[in-house]
Amino acid sequence: MILQDQVAVVTGGSRGIGRAIALMLAKEGASVVINYTSSDDKAKEVQNEIEALGSRAMIYKADVSNEKSVEEFSKAVKKEFGKIDILVNNAGITRDGLVMRMKEEDFMSVIEINLKGTFLCSKYFGKLMMKERKGKIVNISSVVGVMGNAGQANYAASKAGIIGLTKSLAKEFASRKININAIAPGFIETEMTKKLSEEVKENYSKAIPLGYYGKPEDVANLVVFLSSSSSNYITGQVIHVDGGMVM
Ligand code: NAP
């Protein structure tokens, strides 16, 4: 167990990639706080699974794009656990469409949750890490933020923004021994990708040298490494988990 006595917060931990991250951090001994916005039952299930593994778990319903909520969230974690060691900014949404048809609210909601949410959580949980003079922040970006994607201008902009935010935070927080890295997953099988048309899925498959889609656990494995002391000399990096899709 490489994360014994560590406290981790996973935003969007109720489903998909966030769920796999929460479970894998717990398997390594961390106490895990699962954040979400609407899936009460799924969040509770993840809490039960974590407790069955012998780790402590807490669920916290909060919209990461709301500053007041994030501030209260950080205070609740401090009250319950006294500290935070690991923050995984995973919560994210898509509102796909071509730019010519995209409504301003669809552009803004994706930027608000994906990018502003990452900024707000890094600010408030980073403040707690600064007091401890140590910490690990892992931001979930996307290959789409590196290469762009027709029909996903809002999502690509939010994920490219996360890369710039990661590098800036890495420079600002380095003196406090807080490492900040980003992961750029490719096509991972979750509810988010289930929504895509068969044609889009087939095009994705053709572009993956390894020839198959990734699983949430493929991303979670890297999160564990980036949350552990094995990655102490790595900061400000963007690491792809994409079967070779973008290189
Ligand atoms: P998902 O299955 O749709 O799960 C999204 C999670 O985010 C849920 O737990 C959801 O909570 C939470 N969430 C949504 N809005 C929120 C908000 N305002 N505040 C707090 N939590 C919120 O997505 P996923 O496929 O696991 O993706 C997870 C992350 O990986 C996202 O950032 C996504 O952009 C990124 N990613 C995914 C892929 C992929 O192929 N799947 C590829 C690259 C990057 P509720 O359950 O309460 O709704």
- What average pLDDT score do residues 41-52 get? 98
Give the pLDDT of residue 205.
85
Distance 191 CA to ligand 1 centre (A): 9
Which ligand 1 atom is nearest residue 64's CA? 19
Q: For residue range 158-172, what is the model confidence (pLDDT) as tens digits? A: 999 999 999 999 999
- What average pLDDT score do residues 181-185 get? 99
Distance 97 CA to ligand 1 centre (A): 18
Read off the amino acid at residue 202.
Answer: E
Which ligand 1 atom is nearest residue 14's CA? 9
Please check whether residue 187 is in contact with residue 89, taking contact to mean a CB–CB distance below 8 angstroms.
Answer: no
| pTM given for the model | 0.98
Please check whether residue 105 is in contact with residue 60, taking contact to mean a CB–CB distance below 8 angstroms.
Answer: no
- Judge whether 155 counts as a catalytic residue: yes
Q: For residue range 130-159, what is the model confidence (pLDDT) as tens digits? A: 999 999 999 999 999 999 999 999 999 999
Q: Which of 155, 204, 212, 233 does the annotation list as catalytic?
A: 155
Read off the amino acid at residue 102.
Answer: M
Which ligand 1 atom is nearest residue 15's CA? 9
- What average pLDDT score do residues 7-27 get? 98
- What average pLDDT score do residues 36-51 get? 98
